Amino acid sequence: MNVLGIETSCDETGVAVVVDGVTIRANEVATQGAKHAAYGGVVPEIASREHTRVISQLSELALAQAVGKIDLIAATAGPGLMGALLVGVNFAKAMAYTWRVPFVPVHHIEGHIFSPFIDGAPPQWPALALIVSGGHTQLIYCAGEHRYELLATTRDDAVGEAFDKVARLLDLSYPGGPSVQRAAENGDPAAFRFPRAFRGSDTLEFSYSGLKTAVLYALQDKPDANVADVAASFQAAAVDVLLEKTKLALQQTGAPRLIVAGGVAANKLLRDRLEAEIDVPLHIPPLPLCMDNGAMIAAAGYWRYQAGYRGTLDDTPSAGLSLVA
Ligand code: KG4
Ligand code: ZN
């Protein structure tokens, strides 16, 4: 089954063709990073306009690489920026109507959850999922196919957002994750003692605004602080908490496998520490599938369709769509 997957929830336009939820035929991503860089974060209006500008061209590119006709169209229906979501969902519905193929709306986080299973073995359940991106920091217990329980989220900033904000404080480029990681390579992670929220407590909740503020105060205190040392100390603190809470959630749920996905799953320190310290099978996507993309939406849409879900042309996106029914 050839599935066209469309992702436009934030600042990446993604269009992909994936066969049977696993084999990528095309995965085109247009990143708007440069358009938002001057503002240090995503500007919703610019995002919508950019999606509108590139989506047709990107789809033509993806479809040219596909073999045979498209059988199903999946698009991200939320959560995300409303204007941005509308572009992808309406494009997908128009294509589905024209080609007389089914349309399946997909939850963005479910896309991330399915991303490690592309080009690999089919997903197995139950599983614990750690979703770490610019908008989310969540621990989700996946009891079975499409059965989710939200165990924890962040009380304030998402971990990716903290990387982006700290990058701005350090005058590093946007998006902050890759630039902070690069700066941290030559730094001393023990140079600054930054806080680890809820360390040692039995809550699974996250909080990242205190860490960001601690970096701000450290820089006010020492304006000539070594950027590499600050970046490395911040990254160590951010990743420490992810490891601690994930281990605790594995213990509490007894989940036999761990999924880690979302943009921050590209972080090398996080990946290395997960490999070294987690003793259940780890499912983490290759770097290009960590960031938002259409392939993960096609994959999730395929598994939804197989489970009997069908969208309609009346479906509209929702900026605050919930994963837990
Ligand atoms: O999943 P994603 O592409 O978009 C959202 O759904 O938010 O994640 C983007 C986030 C950004 O905050 C970015 O700074 C972060 O992922 N990120 C990283 C790395 N690469 C991207 N964070 C830490 N280390 C990285 N290497
Ligand atoms: Zn995402």
Pair of tokens at residue 239: 């990743």
Q: How many CB atoms lie within 10 A of CB 309?
A: 14
Which has the closest alpha carbon to 8: 34, 44, 60? 44
Residues 6+ apart with CB under 8 A from 206: 137, 152, 153, 154, 155, 159, 197, 198, 241, 242, 245
Nearest-atom number in ligand 1 for the CA of 80 is 6
Identify which ligand lies nearest to the alpha carbon of 133. 1
Can you say how many angstroms the Cα of residue 169 is from the centroid of all Cα atoms in its chain? Answer: 23
Is the CB of residue 42 below 6 angstroms from any atom belonging to ligand 1? no
Across the range 102-131, mean pLDDT stands at 96
Which has the closest alpha carbon to 236: 162, 165, 136? 162
Across the range 246-260, mean pLDDT stands at 98
Tell me the pLDDT tens digit for each residue of 12-46: 999 999 999 999 999 999 999 888 888 877 899 99
pLDDT at residue 150, rounded to an integer: 97
Give the angle subtended at the CA of 20 by the CAs of 16 and 22, to the nearest 5°: 70
Ligand 2 centroid vs 243 CA: distance in angstroms?
A: 20
Question: SS3 breakdown of the chain: % helix, strand, coil, rounded to 5?
Answer: 45, 20, 35
Q: Give dist(CA 135, CA 246) in Å, integer.
A: 18
Pair of tokens at residue 139: 């621990």
Identify which ligand lies nearest to the alpha carbon of 111. 2
Tell me the pLDDT tens digit for each residue of 263-292: 999 999 999 999 999 999 999 999 999 999
Ligand 1 centroid vs 310 CA: distance in angstroms?
A: 30
Instruction: Assign 299 a pLDDT band (cuts: 50, 70, 90).
Output: very high
Is the CB of residue 176 below 6 angstroms from any atom belonging to ligand 1? yes
Q: Give dist(CA 239, CA 192) in Å, integer.
A: 15
pLDDT at residue 120, rounded to an integer: 84
Least confident residue range of 33-42, 117-126, 166-175: 33-42
Can you say how many angstroms the Cα of residue 298 is from the centroid of all Cα atoms in its chain? Answer: 15
Residues 6+ apart with CB under 8 A from 235: 163, 180, 181, 184, 189, 267, 269
Tell me the pLDDT tens digit for each residue of 49-67: 999 999 999 999 999 999 8
Can you say how many angstroms the Cα of residue 320 is from the centroid of all Cα atoms in its chain? Answer: 15
DSSP string, 129-141: EEEESSS-EEEEE
Ligand 1 centroid vs 309 CA: distance in angstroms?
A: 30
Percent of the chain scoring above 70 in pLDDT: 99
Ligand 1 centroid vs 136 CA: distance in angstroms?
A: 10
Q: Give dist(CA 129, CA 139) in Å, integer.
A: 6
Nearest-atom number in ligand 1 for the CA of 290 is 1
pLDDT at residue 72, rounded to an integer: 98
Q: Which residue carries 């099978």 as its tokens? A: 281
Which of 130, 133, 242, when mutated, tests ligand 1's pocket best, judged by the most ligand atoms within 8 Å of its CB? 133
Tell me the pLDDT tens digit for each residue of 145-170: 999 999 999 999 999 999 999 999 99
Q: At what angle do helices 159-169 and 227-253 cross, to 10 degrees?
A: 170
pLDDT at residue 5, rounded to an integer: 98
pLDDT at residue 38, rounded to an integer: 81
Q: At what angle do helices 159-169 and 209-221 cross, to 10 degrees?
A: 10
Is the CB of residue 79 below 6 angstroms from any atom belonging to ligand 1? no
Is the CB of residue 292 below 6 angstroms from any atom belonging to ligand 1? yes
Position 6, amino acid: I
Is the CB of residue 160 below 6 angstroms from any atom belonging to ligand 1? yes
pLDDT at residue 34, rounded to an integer: 85
Is the CB of residue 111 below 6 angstroms from any atom belonging to ligand 1? no
Which of 163, 180, 297, when mutated, tests ligand 1's pocket best, judged by the most ligand atoms within 8 Å of its CB? 163
pLDDT at residue 41, rounded to an integer: 77
Whether the CB-CB separation of 117 and 248 falls below 8 Å is answered with no
Pair of tokens at residue 325: 């029914």
Q: Give dist(CA 225, CA 222) in Å, integer.
A: 5
The average confidence (pLDDT) of the chain is: 96
Across the range 286-305, mean pLDDT stands at 97
